[in-house]
Chain A
Amino acid sequence: MKELISYIATSLVDDPTQVRVMENRRGSAVNLILKVAKSDMGRVIGKSGRVANAMRILLRVAAAREGIRVTMDVEEPR
């Protein structure tokens, strides 16, 4: 799941070296945190969150296969 988001994000950003995906597992729930360069935030979020939402929908397919629930947040780099 981490790999899915990492593949999509690195394919869409201008600076793939800044892509980080963190995975926090709590039982059968997983939260992914995606970080990209500040200038690439728009590319992974999209207008009205369209890109991020499409990523969440695809994540759901992968999660269903593993019988878990998954959420994803996009965070600004510190």
Chain B
Amino acid sequence: MNRSRTSLEVIAPSVEEAIRKGLSELGLPREAVQIDVLDEGSHGLFGLGGRQARIRLSILAPEEVETAPSQPPAREAPEVEAPTPPATELSAEDELSLRVAIDAVSELLALMKVKAAVTAHMGEAEEARNRRPIMLEVHGNDLSILIGRHAETLNALQYISYLIIGKELGRSIPVIIDVEGYRSRRERQLRQLARRMADQAVKTGRRQVLEPMPANERRVIHLELRDHPQVKTESIGDDPRRKVTIIPQ
């Protein structure tokens, strides 16, 4: 569990559904978070005129949770407006960024006729000088259409969202969109591939040339093998055919 994630906004067709989605994303029981209903939403035929419900889950500090004995989920009614203040508040700036991001992506998905819920949180900057990215997660059934071949559709959605969010906020912030964990699965696969191909390079003494990959995927390979004592990595060729080469030392 990522400890740095202290607050999460979720949009879903109903408050209950938003809470369920948010808790499952956080992997936390209901008593470990404070739930604020930001917008109860309004009914309407699904997606037509109806407004989606919006809630915020704030993770309570561990000591606050332990005082509340963890009981089996006693009631189904949402615990709204818990009296304890959240352990850490999102800055007003982050909160605005997340809201703008969730709105933009939800609007795009609705106009693409894709039924899905969107959650968001601020990620960690990779290096101190970088901006923290807005991390968005899209949940729903059968969303493979949103990923596309080589994540083409997902990358297009991410790029357009990044532009809209940047324009709206008046400054650009990195935006990363994942659909049903696709990006994290892909990253794991790439790391495994990197290690396997590095072994091969060492064993055979020959350089290994990987398939062409987009920049973000090549980066995963370079980072994975950065500290490998027996190989170095290099990218060769031009986009979109640029490939990572693993060279035995």
Contact = CB atoms under 8 A, between A and B. Distances in A.
Interface of A: 3-4, 7-8, 11-12, 50-51, 53-55, 57-58, 60-62, 64-66
Interface residues on B, range: 20 to 34
A18 B98 CA distance: 29
- List the 8 closest pairs (A to B, CB-CB), nearest first: A57-B156, A54-B156, A4-B111, A65-B113, A11-B164, A62-B112, A61-B112, A54-B159
25 contacts: A4-B108, A4-B112, A7-B108, A7-B111, A8-B108, A11-B104, A11-B163, A11-B164, A11-B168, A12-B167, A50-B159, A53-B156, A54-B160, A55-B160, A57-B152, A58-B108, A58-B112, A58-B153, A61-B112, A61-B113, A61-B145, A61-B146, A64-B145, A65-B113, A65-B114
B247 interface: no
Of A50, A61, A65, most buried by chain B (CB within 10 Å of CB) is A61
Interface of B: 104, 107-108, 111-114, 145-146, 148, 152-153, 155-157, 159-160, 163-164, 167-168
A11 B168 CA distance: 8
A55 B161 CA distance: 11
Given A54-B160, A55-B160, A62 B167 contact: no
A51 B164 CA distance: 11
Nearest to B162: A54
B176 to A, nearest CB: 16
Nearest to A8: B160
Of A4, A53, A54, A62, most buried by chain B (CB within 10 Å of CB) is A54
Contacts of B157: 54, 58
Contacts of A53: 156
Given A12-B167, A57-B148, A57-B153, A7 B159 contact: no
